[in-house]
Amino acid sequence: MSSPHLGVVGLGVMGRNLALNARDAGVTVAGTDLGQDAVDGFAQEGGEAVTATTDLDAFLAALPTPRNILVMVPAGKAVDAVLGSLAPKLAPGDLVIDGGNSHFPDTQRRHDEMAARGLNFFGMGVSGGEDGARHGPSMMPGGPKEVYARVAPILEGMAAEVDGEPCVAHLGAGASGHYVKMVHNGIEYGLMQLLAEAYDLLKRGAGLGNDRMGDLFAEWNDGELRSYLVEITAHILRQPDVVAVAPDETPGHEGPPEGMAGRYLLNFIKDTAKQKGTGKWTSQDALDLGVPTPTIDAAVTARYVSALKDERVAASSLLGEPAGRAPGDPEELVAAVGDALLAAFLVTYAQGFALLKRASDAYEYGLDLGTVAKIWRGGCIIRADLLETFREAFDADPELPNLLVAPPVAEALIGHRGALRRAVVLGAQAGIPTPCLSTALAYLDAYRSEWLPANLVAAQRDYFGAHTFARIDQDGMHHAQWEPAGL
């Protein structure tokens, strides 16, 4: 068995930081990149403890066998290009880990192709951004379990820790690692949009300024909502715009929009948000598997709507701007938003974990959802105190169909769903869009409804297409001879 070592292909921001993280953990590290500047920068920062080269053969020669190689290049064709260059030069038993945001069907294909060559392949989700990569990310590897023991000490030394437990574990077979990371990102989309809607309700609905909103988010982060995204939202709200200048110092410029002070950076950021596609992938596969994830779906759609800036400006002139302010005492809305966020957060996580459960069965991943919750507690973007509650719930009942029926989650929802309803109602009365808060409420109401009006949908399908329906008083499927319309 060779000494702990890691080769890193791709020395961009994430690759370089992960390589330096491994070096700090006592791992022998070699890095390669097509760009000389990237190699030189890594060599300078890594010092004599690392090997840095643009020569792939020299890179491979620097690694003892069986080799452990982490590929950190953009998802898509670049990964295939790297694997095409590497595979002919590798020896049986070597391990290649794709640490990018690859789509899970691509990962499964690559896994099978590498296995046919006698090579091991992992798809590994990495979450935590630049800082996490350098100081401790959450990592989600999936692939052949027997080889994981070889790299476990390396990855555990690099990962974030919570209560002495590393935020990395072997998750399952095939493309399971990248699937879990995809769902992580789908949940991330949902949580981010929920926070944006809370900000909108407080800003337009209650008329609060950035300082008060920053205080509220900081206060919530000291309680049940403690999480990375709530924490950074408080910081973002208070961030001054250090490059902003007064209107009279800007020739030919009329200054910021009415009501916007030049003090806060957030007030000068254009209201459009981009995406890289992982949220969309989550929604697409959820639809394929028949798993409802409406809050994640609404978050993806909200980003598409945000991109229609010119159309929205034109429509506001034609259709009229919403009133903006919620009726009644603004403090009623302020009081509701924090509890509404907690309820909606619980619902969003529940949708994501329900998708993981179904996918694990459909794709034979063998996921342990308690382990997923454990490694998401630190390092990753969706880390939150709530994840310990989820871990305990799955450890207590590995077959739990949905987190909403886990006793501690159900208790929290019963106590906070009224606030979620008030926030959605007050937002609707003010004309403020709350797509994720609204779908979280609708999902919760639907999931806890003993009866739903789907009997009418079933009847309609049978009426126009003879698709049959189930009866509550008889077994089997049935078709009715419906009276023609108009009689």
Give catalytic residues, as residue numbers: 181, 188
Residue with tokens 């969706």, as numbered in its chain: 382
Comparing CA positions, the residue from 165, 166, 174 lying closest to residue 141 is 174
Q: Which strands make up the sheet holding 50-53, listed edge to edge? A: 50-53, 28-32, 5-9, 68-71, 95-98, 120-127, 138-142
Angle CA(450)–CA(299)–CA(122) in degrees, nearest 5?
100
Please provide the size of the chain in residues: 487
Asked, as a colleague might, if the bond just before 292 is cis with ω within 30 of 0, I would say no
CA atoms within a 13 Å half-sphere pointing along the CA-CB vector of 77: 0
Residue with tokens 């909403």, as numbered in its chain: 404
Identity (one letter) of the amino acid at 412? A
Comparing CA positions, the residue from 159, 145, 168 lying closest to residue 366 is 145
* Spatial distance between the Cα atoms of 28 and 64, rounded to a whole number of angstroms: 10
